[in-house]
Amino acid sequence: MTGKVINLDLCYLYPKLLNIYGDRGNVLTLSYRCSQRNIGLNITTIGIGESVDYEKFDLYFIGGGQDEQQLLVANDLQEKKETLIKAIEKNAIFLAICGGYQLLGKYYKTPDGSELKGIDALDLYTVAGNKRMIGNVLCREIESEETLVGFENHSGKTFLGKSLKPLAKVIRGGGNNGEDGFEGVRYKNVFGTYLHGSLLPKNPFLTDKLIKLALERKGISAPFINIDSSIEDIAHKKAVNLSY
């Protein structure tokens, strides 16, 4: 416990295996922007062989990784599949980046043709393409029309089932598959995306959206304080102007 009046609990999945391009920065940013509002964020790390109590957590985070780490995680996730699906269906807030995002779907077919099973929480699948999508992405979140910036590096091409909505429209970059002009997925309170960078430090509106959703889900109606985001806004603007 943090000693704060309001506390949120975050489950950080596989921090040792899935943490490339500073994905951990997303958790640090959530913690920072919570603390600026006097909200405590309790962080529990969960690794291979450890079970998840889905009733305990308000938020979940899973980062990206190389295929080798993804394989270890994919196998272990099968043990956690039911609890994670329950959490998602009960509207827990879930941010999943790149390799972690892929594993929330049905499967990820790797460049050597083998298939990593996902947990099938989301109706999507990923197939390795023959060209990596690498660069600075600019897109627009569909719900808010805010710009989102981040860095992508993946060969996996993700395709959403008809029932799923993408998170954003691509302005610059590959996004889900380099073909349909969409980036990520939004399902209930799940935000799946290819954006590393890390994502949240330079997209403060998204960080705040996740925190707000977590408070709403808990039935906490305290006013949501605006905090100074001037440094974050500078980082965001700089990233908007980067080339791919």
Asked if 120 touches ligand GLN (CB under 6 A), the answer is no
Catalytic residue among 11, 154, 196, 236: 196
Asked if 64 touches ligand GLN (CB under 6 A), the answer is yes
Q: Compare residues 67 and 146 and give the one whose CB is closer to ligand GLN.
A: 67
Return the residues of window 164-223 that contact ligand GLN according to CB under 6 A.
Answer: none
Phi, psi (degrees; rounded to nearest 5) at 63: -95, -165
Catalytic residue among 11, 98, 139, 236: 98
Q: What is the DSSP letter of 56?
A: T
Asked if 156 touches ligand GLN (CB under 6 A), the answer is yes
CB of 149 to ligand GLN, least distance (A): 16
Distance CA 132, CA 65 (A): 14
Measure CA 21 to chain center: 13
Has 154 been annotated as catalytic? no
Total residues interacting with ligand GLN, rule: CB under 6 A: 12
Has 98 been annotated as catalytic? yes
Distance CA 153, CA 135 (A): 7
Asked if 20 touches ligand GLN (CB under 6 A), the answer is yes
CA neighbor of 139 nearest in space, from 103, 99, 180, 101: 180
Q: Which of 80, 106, 154, 209 binds ligand GLN (CB under 6 A)?
A: 154
**Residue corresponding to tokens 């709403």:** 216
Cα dihedral 150, 88, 111, 15 in deg (nearest 10): 60
For residues 67 and 82, the answer to whether their CB atoms sit within 8 Å is no
CB of 5 to ligand GLN, least distance (A): 37
Active-site positions? 98, 196
Which spans of this chain sit near ligand GLN (rule: CB under 6 A)?
20, 64-67, 70, 98-99, 153-156
